[in-house]
């Protein structure tokens, strides 16, 4: 493992599990940079067949090549996935179902943070659409494959910011209220924890587990819209504190790696991890009624048809 600084120890430690995943197929979304890239690297080191799922294919191919070179694992490939497009999500899932015999680990890592008031191709508020709805659809479309590959795992990256989140069912996509990018980010990350809880309930007895995690604040491109370094004053005043408390992407990838490989977590599902430790999430994140309602609303928004029982079938949106 590369040299760790004191700052890394302040922010949390390395994955305690030495487990390997030879022969297992792993998908990591948003894997061309930051935590996603480091997670893909860690899982490639452990022998996985790793698929980097990214919007920017040039960066994705470069990251895959770099990981292959560093790990000497040639089973690392780039695939196009734009989570701001339900059409792209469906195309990606269709390819995976056709090309991969099994999928053992899905790491829903990709995110946008505190961007301007943008909307996705389908008209969703960008943070809710990319961080949550895109992953909601992707996960559901891959569920049958994950079940057939059991024991398998789904890892959803949330954030400590979920504690400040609230699900506004009257205006999930910020069409009625004045846009608040921080509140929108927090809502998207709360939605991920609620999704994790409800999905875990639906997956009982299938051999597929799902957990959510806060990886820690990392030095990645994710914060490019936050304005932290947009002024000389903020860089000068906040810089030293920021750099002391945040993790390197390498360390921030350790919780995702741990949830993906640790043998002691087999069967653990529906939990929220703060770094490497299981913690209780915010009270709203544990509200079963809110979780069920959010699932139903999400299924409607992304064009998933509810079937009898607890499974969900993917249906294209009407033209």
Positions marked active-site: 185
Question: Helix, strand, coil proportions of the chain in percent (round to 5)?
Answer: 45, 15, 40
Q: How far is residue 273 from each of residues 55, 75, 218, 267, 287, measured CA to CA in Å? A: 27, 29, 16, 15, 17
The pair of three-digit structure tokens given for residue 114, joined into one six-digit string:
């505190």
- Residue 312, beta-bridge partner list: 306
DSSP 212: E
Pairing of strands 152-157, 76-80: unpaired
- What is the DSSP-derived secondary structure letter of residue 221? G
186 token code pair: 């927090």
With CA atoms as reference, report the closest residue to 76 among 102, 100, 103, 52: 52
User: Residue 50: beta bridge partners?
Assistant: 26, 76
Residue 159 class from Cβ within 10 Å (0-12 exposed, 13-18 middle, 19+ buried)? buried
Residues 6+ apart with CB under 8 A from 319: none
Measure CA of the first residue to CA of the last residue in the chain; give whole Å: 51
Residue 212 CA to residue 281 CA, distance in Å, equals 10
For residue 47, report the phi and psi dihedrals to the nearest 5 degrees: 95, 5
* Angstrom distance (rounded) from CA 265 to CA 15: 13
């Amino acid at each position: 493992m590369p040299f760790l600084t004191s700052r890394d120890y302040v922010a949390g430690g390395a994955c305690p599990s030495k487990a390997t995943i030879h022969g297992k197929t792993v998908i990591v979304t948003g894997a061309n940079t930051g935590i996603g890239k480091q997670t893909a690297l860690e899982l490639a080191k452990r022998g996985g067949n790793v698929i980097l799922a990214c919007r920017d294919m040039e960066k994705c191919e470069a990251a895959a090549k770099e990981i292959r070179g560093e790990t000497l694992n040639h089973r690392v490939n780039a695939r196009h996935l734009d989570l701001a497009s339900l059409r792209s999500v469906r195309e990606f899932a269709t390819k995976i179902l056709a090309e991969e015999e099994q999928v053992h680990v899905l790491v829903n890592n990709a995110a946008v943070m505190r961007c301007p008031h943008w909307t996705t191709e389908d008209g969703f508020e960008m943070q809710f659409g990319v961080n949550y709805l895109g992953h909601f659809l992707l996960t559901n479309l891959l569920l049958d494959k994950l079940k057939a590959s059991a024991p398998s795992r789904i890892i959803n990256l949330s954030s400590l910011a979920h504690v400040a989140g609230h699900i506004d069912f009257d205006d999930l996509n910020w069409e009625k209220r004045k846009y608040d990018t921080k509140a929108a980010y927090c809502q998207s990350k709360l939605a991920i924890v609620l999704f994790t809880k409800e999905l875990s309930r639906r997956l009982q007895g299938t051999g597929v587990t799902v957990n959510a995690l806060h990886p820690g604040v990392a030095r990645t491109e994710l914060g490019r819209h936050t304005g932290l370094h947009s002024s000389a004053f903020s860089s000068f005043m906040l810089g030293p504190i920021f750099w002391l408390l945040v993790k390197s992407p390498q360390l921030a990838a350790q919780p995702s790696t741990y949830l993906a490989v640790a043998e002691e977590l087999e069967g653990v599902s529906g939990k929220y991890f703060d770094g490497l430790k299981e913690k209780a999430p915010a009270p709203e994140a544990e509200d079963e009624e809110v979780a069920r309602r959010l699932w139903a609303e999400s299924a409607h928004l992304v064009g998933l048809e509810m079937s009898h029982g607890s499974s969900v079938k993917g249906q294209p949106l009407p033209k």
